[in-house]
Amino acid sequence: MRNYEYEVKNRVDFIRGVLADTGADGVVYGNSGGKDCSLVGILCKKACDNTVGLIMPCGSKRNYEIDKTDAEAVAKQFGISTRVVDLTNIKNEFSKVVGDKTQLTDNALSNIPPRLRMTTLYAVAASENRLVAGTGNLSEIYMGYFTKWGDGAFDFNPIADLTVTEVYEFLRYLGVPEFIITKAPSAGLFDGQTDENEMGISYRSIDDFLLADTANKSDRKIIEKFHKASEHKRNVPIIFRG
């Protein structure tokens, strides 16, 4: 287990350094009521009082219920400012306009909300001289379980080196409510969606692979498949170099 007292200090110093280097006045992040954004929000608030979390429901019933309630609860406990920006109508109109020109697949539709949220975060950031904080953890990043130019777009990320297991440990150290830790991880892209069901593997198995290089043959195959297929997400755009 990491020394989380030490981790808090180092990550707070990192965030303050990024803000100082860029001349930004504050931080904005997407507060979905999940484990990762809770940790990012707390760390950013410790580093910069001018931190705001945007709660951005976008069509899923869960966005308006458990996600919003949990997001507000953590923000209240740690004194983090929040704003609600409802993107549902924008998503519906966008899907209609684009859908008139092409047959939108389920994959295309599920990636619209993260990209609308990214646009919202950067609009606020540009208007208020803030930086956008990323909320992806190492387990998700390794698997490529994020939307390119959606939740994979940010100015800095203070938890990108932490596995899901370590995020949970960190949250317990900080005294985050247990309901954040025990609920099934979900991007909330549609009702009933969970990360592990969508990937076909548990975060525990992924973390065992990343932290100790232990995984059975079946799990290793899944992990390697996801990692290889998502390599383009972790690198700069593919460009011609003459």
Pairing between strand 130-132 and 81-84? unpaired
Residue 61, pLDDT score: 76
- What the block records as the tokens of 199 is 């990937």
Residue 241, pLDDT score: 86
Q: What DSSP designation does 26 have?
A: E
Residue 13 inside a domain? The answer is: yes
More confident residue, 1 or 134: 134
Mean pLDDT (whole number) for 72-92: 97
Residue 50 inside a domain? The answer is: yes
Residue 125 inside a domain? The answer is: yes
Residue 63, pLDDT score: 77
159: Cα within 13 Å, side-chain hemisphere: 30
Residue 48 inside a domain? The answer is: yes
Mean pLDDT (whole number) for 60-74: 88
Residue 155 inside a domain? The answer is: yes
Full residue range of the structural domain in which residue 157 is found? 4-192
Residue 23, pLDDT score: 98
3-state SS string over 190-232?
CCCCCHHHHHCCCHHHHHHHHHHCCCCHHHHHHHHHHHHHCHH
Residue 221 inside a domain? The answer is: no
Mean pLDDT (whole number) for 44-67: 91
- Domain count along the chain: 1
CATH number, domain with residue 80: 3.40.50.620
pLDDT(191) > 70: no
Reported confidence tier of residue 60, pLDDT bands at 50, 70, 90:
confident
pLDDT(219) > 80: yes
Residue 233 inside a domain? The answer is: no
Q: Are 203 and 195 in contact (CB under 8 A)?
A: yes
Calculate the average pLDDT of the chain.
94
Q: What DSSP designation does 65 have?
A: I
116-171 pLDDT tens trace: 999 999 999 999 999 999 999 999 999 999 999 999 999 999 999 999 999 999 99
Q: What percent of the chain has pLDDT over 70?
A: 98
Residue 184 inside a domain? The answer is: yes
Mean pLDDT (whole number) for 207-230: 95
Q: How many residues does the chain have?
A: 242
Residue 159, pLDDT score: 98
